[in-house]
Structure 1
Amino acid sequence: MKSEVSIRWTGNMAFESEVNGHKLVLDAAKEFGGEDLGYRPKPLVMAALAGCTGMDVVSILKKMRVEYDGLEIKVEGDVADEHPKTYTALKLIYEFKGKDLPMEKLEKAVALSEETYCGVWAMYKKAVPVTYEIRVVE
């Protein structure tokens, strides 16, 4: 099985890609020669991680019949001081909204995503430490 994405330069620092039938524009900030027309590549790395694990966690909790009012996943990335300015560590913060949520099931869902299902997480943790925290807001 293969996966493929292509990207096309549209001028200056901007590129456009079509991913699963959806357009994605990438560009640099104005201070780096871009026109701020789209996403920056490095934050998309964090968004990919959050999206991958989020889809896993939502699916697993549905199977566990855990009901909650909301879920927000934040990703914090420590960036190297020198070039190449890679992420040196990533931290996921899962913030569940709801009353009397079963913490053991939330922890199990996140652990299953980390250990078994999320391919993005599996790939990233080979390169940098990835940690997480679970918060419940009533």
Structure 2
Amino acid sequence: MTTLVDGSTRVRVSSVLNRDTKQFGKKYLFDGEEDTCWNSDQGSPQWIHVNLETECDVSEIQIKFQGGFAGKDCCLESHNDEQIKKVMDFYPEDVNSLQSFKLPESLKLSSFRIVFNSSTDFFGRITIYQLSILGEKS
């Protein structure tokens, strides 16, 4: 398995805390730095939409939240061929460590959304220090 996100990957997020993209923007999801993060603004749901350059076999998602600002009720949706399909639900723990969520089976995806329907934060904010999309390039 390799990481599927590279420089050609397009990523959109639902919001950024106080619209401060210099400090909390989406670019920090995949930068590999321990002290940078994407921080959403308040409200639910929050989401991260990933568009890979080509269709890939996606098999696992890894997320490192900040405790107190973790997703509670989450899902992965595929957005291929103008159709939205729920792939799986997952329920992260409210901890600061890297968590892995394996897909029920490896799926060919090029466009998908990670949806955080609720958060452990009272205001619905999500803070992610690391996000990895693992699988095989087709």
More strand by share: 2
TM-score (norm 1): 0.27
TM-score (norm 2): 0.27
Structure with bigger RCO (C-alpha 8 Å, 6+ apart): 2
Q: Decide which structure has the larger Cα Rg and report it.
A: 1
